[in-house]
């Protein structure tokens, strides 16, 4: 491994941290818990954003922008919401700095204290519902289907790049509906949109389900989620969609007149995915050689590396490379021709392997002579020599093949690492030796859920929606259980 | 005026405020100085972003993301920078709220005080240059061409929607170069990119120029700018591009080794445009009937409104409308067919006039009979009856025609409102009676600039780059002047 990358077997967590840095995805900043998303990492996030944004718009949503700051008093209006977020938020208390009179440099000006403190948004329900009160009067104003791309801040104590950072980027959908049924349908629809995106673009299989009461979003009546399984057997929550009932409408007094003129509070949803998806993407596909990217999200899907010893050779190779690039681009493939003379081919091979570019094409003087090119796949680390005339069709087909292969590998890994258990002893044993998703019966009480969490660190990831709903007995208490739920240790 | 919109003649400022609200572009939020950008306003901003982002990428820039927060100590490192921003910044001092023990509700937890206060970024030079120190070692790492789309906060005391808000959205480019010449060329290039965008997409003519020393960005050696003239004769700074010299590289110790291994500080630029552009767009083209949008930025370029009295008529009209919409879309035109039965045609006509949709097509039962459609232009408020077969070509051509017409009108307005004066008396008279850009000789001193500002409220908008550079004598002091500069009252 020329990359000096810790292997997954040695230390999965260390491997992840090193990979994020070495593949130029992100790094820690001088601000505690806040990351810098580097250009290569950001280019992947931009592709995610573009696809999600398209899907949101196709389902009738519009983007808008609401303030970064939330007055403290707004928070207190929805009781469970403030409980959920008050302990980890950044508070703005002053609006000016000044030169210290005693020569201590720049200090906060005590005369510039805000009358009411402002919270840097950890999520925007409160400021948005305060606004919706002005926007919604009648059934004609509904449904209101709005999304926001934004940065949010949650003062996490232990942070990890992409997975848990004090500031992160996300989108948050906030919708208002005339009926309970419509709001539930919206929450389910957005869970399905997320699942579609994560499976078909990120090539990460997910389980759709409901959160238990104790794992629900602060202020939600029901939280839908998609859960993915990482290579180390830990689960990662990839997205959530909340049915908020009339909680926020009541807290912020948002009512609408129906066709008969009768007033009622509106029904709400909110839903979000964040830069955390980058963590899921990295941990699902990457290997000991570095990042592995699915073609649907790779900023560069193909890189062409020229092999040459002199200018004459470079010219001949470049001619082949340029025409190949043009043909691939004509098929909508994102191709980069790396003809920098500041780096050797070996360095470039290594670099693109580390950065997960799905396909590498190498062309040398012999290839020019023989009319061949060498095509290497990042996912399988295999390479083969092709007639130049066959390369375009082959590489074109490879895009879908690699996408499918990555998804299949991830599904197989999840299948192998999903275990059905019938006793708590078996549960503990599987959790210790194998990890992964564990399906087990649970009596439906928070007490039992807490006990399992305390004793094993595993949590209920979700109550799967596609379960067979076979009743049984709780593995811990033996009490009746309506269906199995999915446990795992989680990120 | 069914819109109850104050006219520009009555009160330009009031007209602007009402228009922004009534056209559903933005509104004030519950947070002092922070706006909510509503879906329609945001859709225009998204189009601006998309075009600018494409232009940045075409000129070799990549996007990245840096932290929202800047440690207070970073600010102090570049002396003039902290002077420029310290007086208007939001300061985070705590990271937790708690329930007050005395029953006063939610309060800031005094135990959760940050060791070092964090400033919500008013601009990101300091946090970015602290990062660049790690990214730049050698000439191979240069140029570093990075852009960030972000929210920033400047604690302005008097705010106006889009024009001056405590939080606003913008992009900020931050580049690093090996030579002074390259950095200056980059700063000039980005001024030209901005001018290209503002003139060709926003249809707003601009003057390119340099800021005087006192109007420069805090920390810049030279500030390039583009200045536009609004309908009321006041100028608006639409974008700035700064040559930062080695100031930030020195403050943050960013050095690179050249090909010979010699160490030197790198050369820098930064450049930005913001949601302020929305204000320029609105104030350049709109009229007493509402918003007027250039087709290149209009979320809907064409709206089709059906006229009908019964379902049968609606069906016949819809058939024509749907086929017309398909043909227009095939030509890449953004068309909306508003067949909502909750609103009357007259209401819709009014609505789309207020929202500035460039072309409105009305189709009624008589049109179906006669094979005609009625096409109305928002910019000229004229309408004409066309054979349905001619409509697609006509409307297609109208897109460019309206774009050109808006630009031409704005250029004519600016020409009429640009006056060359030779004496300070004449200057004051023109400023009082006519306003607009006033070109006059200036002795190049800050003292004279300050005097004019104090006595007339006009500032030097820029030293135009395309000036004839004819020398003369300062209108105030009579001292020698190398060239005329452009004065105006400004937003």
DSSP A91-147: EEEES-EEE-TTS--EEE-TT-EEEEEEEEPSS-HHHHHHHHHHH-SBGGG-SEEEE
Q: How far apart are CA A473 and CA A480, in angstroms?
A: 5
Pairing state of beta strands A167-177 and A69-71?
A: unpaired
Q: Do A108 and B117 touch (CB under 8 A)?
A: yes
Using the predicted structure, report yes or no on whether residue B290 has a pLDDT greater than 90: yes
Q: For residue A251, give the 3-state DSSP assignment.
A: helix
What is the C-alpha to C-alpha distance for residues B395 and A81, in angstroms, rounded to an integer? 51
Contact across the interface for B97 and A108, Cβ inside 8 Å: no
* Gap from A20 CA to chain B (nearest CA, Å): 15
- A1 confidence band (pLDDT: 50, 70, 90): very low
**Is the Cβ pair B117, A105 closer than 8 Å?**
no
For an interface test with A, give the residue of B95, B117, B167, B256 to mutate (most A CBs within 10 A). B95
Minimal CA separation from A142 to chain B, in Å: 12
Nearest-angstrom CA–CA distance, A339 and A305: 7
pLDDT at B3 over 70: no
User: Which tokens belong to B147?
Assistant: 């852009």
Closest CA to B301 of B255, B372, B234, B352: B352
Cross-chain residue pair B39–A63, CB shorter than 8 Å: yes
Q: DSSP for B463-485, please give it.
A: EETTS----EE-TTT--EESSEE
Determine which of A42, A75, A87, A91 to mutate to test the interface with B (most B C-beta atoms within 10 Å).
A91
Token pair 């920098």: residue: A340
pLDDT value, residue A3: 66
Q: What is the dihedral of CA B428, B431, B434, B438, to 10 degrees?
A: 110
- If phi > 0 it is left, if psi is from -120 to 50 it is alpha, else beta; for residue B465 that is alpha
Q: Which of A43, A62, A92 sits opposite B39 (nearest CB)?
A: A62
Distances from the Cα of A391 to the Cα of A320, A346, A364, B183, B245, angstroms: 11, 22, 15, 41, 48
User: Taking the CB of residue B263, how many other CB atoms lie within 10 A of it?
Assistant: 10
Residues across chain B: 491
Query: CA-CA distance, B53 to B292, in Å (whole number)?
Result: 24
Using DSSP's 3-state secondary structure scheme, residue A47 falls into: helix
Cβ count near A331 (within 10 Å): 12
- Between helix B388-416 and helix B276-285 the angle, nearest 10°, is 100
How many beta-carbon pairs under 8 angstroms link A with B?
189
Interface contact B76-A131, CB threshold 8 A: no
Task: Give B299-333 pLDDT, tens digit per residue.
Answer: 999 999 999 999 999 999 999 999 999 999 999 99
Name the band, by pLDDT with cuts 50, 70 and 90, for residue A77: confident
Give which of B25, B33, B39, B174 to mutate to test A binding, by max A Cβ within 10 Å: B39
Over residues A332-351, mean pLDDT: 95
pLDDT average, residue stretch B369-391: 97
- Closest residue on chain B to A115 (Cα): B32
CA distance B188 to B194: 10
Residues B97, A195: Cα–Cα separation, whole Å? 35
Span B255-279, mean pLDDT? 97
- Over residues B248-268, the mean pLDDT reads 97
Residue of higher predicted confidence among A90 and B77: A90
- For B175-214, write each residue's pLDDT tens digit: 999 999 999 999 999 999 999 999 999 999 999 999 999 9
Question: Residue B346: pLDDT above 50?
Answer: yes
- Check CB contact under 8 Å for A31 and B70: yes
What is the rounded average pLDDT for all residues in chain B? 96
The predicted model scores a pTM of: 0.96
Cβ contact A37–B64 (<8 Å): yes
DSSP state for residue B30 in the 8-state scheme: S
- Under a CB-based contact definition with an 8 Å cutoff, are residues A467 and A227 in contact? no
Question: Per the CB < 8 Å rule, is B146 touching A39?
Answer: yes
Answer whether B95 sits within 8 Å of A89, measured CB to CB. yes
Q: In terms of DSSP bridges, do strands B207-210 and B222-229 run parallel, antiparallel, or are they unpaired?
A: antiparallel
Residue A27: enclosing H or E segment and its boundaries?
strand A26-28
Q: Enter the DSSP assignment of A420.
A: E
| C-alpha distances out from residue B164 to B33, B155, B345, B361, Å | 8, 10, 36, 36
Min Cα separation B289/chain A (Å): 23
pLDDT score recorded for residue B1: 40
Instruction: Count CB-CB contacts under 10 A for residue B196.
Output: 15
Residues in chain B within 8 Å Cβ distance of A67 = 29, 31, 34-36, 167
């Amino acid at each position: 491994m020329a990359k000096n990358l810790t292997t997954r077997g040695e230390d999965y967590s260390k491997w992840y941290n090193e990979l994020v840095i070495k593949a130029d995805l992100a790094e820690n900043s001088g601000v505690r818990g806040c990351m810098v998303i580097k250009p290569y990492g950001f280019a992947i996030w931009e592709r995610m954003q573009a696809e999600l944004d398209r899907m949101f718009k196709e389902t009738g949503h519009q983007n808008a922008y609401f303030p970064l700051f939330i007055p403290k008093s707004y928070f207190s209006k929805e009781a469970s919401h403030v409980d959920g977020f008050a302990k980890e938020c950044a508070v703005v208390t002053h609006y000016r700095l000044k030169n210290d009179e005693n020569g201590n440099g720049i200090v906060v000006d005590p005369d510039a204290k805000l009358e009411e403190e402002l919270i840097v948004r950890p999520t925007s329900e409160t400021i948005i519902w305060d606004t919706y009160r002005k926007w919604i009067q009648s059934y004609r104003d509904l449904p209101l289907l709005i999304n926001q791309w934004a940065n949010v801040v949650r003062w996490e104590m232990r942070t990890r790049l992409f997975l848990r950072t004090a500031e992160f980027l996300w989108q948050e959908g906030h919708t208002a509906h005339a009926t309970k049924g419509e709001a539930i349908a919206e929450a389910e629809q957005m869970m399905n949109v997320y699942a579609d995106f994560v499976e078909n673009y990120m090539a990460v299989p997910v389980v759709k389900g409901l959160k238990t009461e104790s794992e629900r979003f602060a202020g939600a009546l029901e939280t839908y989620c998609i859960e993915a399984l990482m290579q180390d057997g830990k689960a990662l929550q990839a997205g959530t969609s909340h049915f908020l009932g009339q909680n926020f409408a009541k807290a912020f007094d948002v009512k609408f007149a129906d066709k008969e003129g009768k007033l009622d509070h509106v029904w709400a949803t909110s839903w979000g995915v964040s830069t955390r998806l980058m963590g899921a993407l990295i941990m699902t596909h990457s290997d000991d050689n570095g990042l592995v990217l699915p073609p649907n999200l790779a900023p560069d899907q193909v890189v062409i590396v020229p092999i040459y010893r002199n200018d004459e050779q470079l010219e001949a190779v470049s001619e082949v490379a340029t025409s190949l690039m043009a043909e691939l681009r004509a098929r909508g493939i994102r191709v980069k021709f790396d003809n920098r003379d500041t780096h050797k081919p070996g360095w470039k091979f290594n670099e693109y392997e580390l950065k997960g570019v799905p396909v590498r094409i190498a062309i040398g003087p012999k290839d020019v002579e023989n009319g061949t090119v060498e095509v290497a796949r990042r996912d399988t680390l295999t390479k083969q020599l092709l007639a130049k005339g066959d390369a375009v069709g082959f590489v074109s087909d490879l895009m879908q093949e690699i996408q499918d292969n990555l998804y299949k590998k991830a599904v197989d890994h999840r299948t192998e690492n999903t275990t059905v258990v019938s006793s708590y002893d078996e549960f503990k044993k599987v959790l210790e030796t194998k990890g992964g998703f564990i399906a087990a019966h649970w009596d439906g009480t928070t007490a039992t859920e807490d006990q399992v969490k305390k004793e094993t660190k595993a949590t209920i990831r979700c109550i799967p929606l596609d379960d067979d709903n076979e009743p049984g007995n709780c593995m811990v208490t033996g009490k009746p259980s309506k269906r199995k739920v999915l446990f795992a240790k989680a990120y």
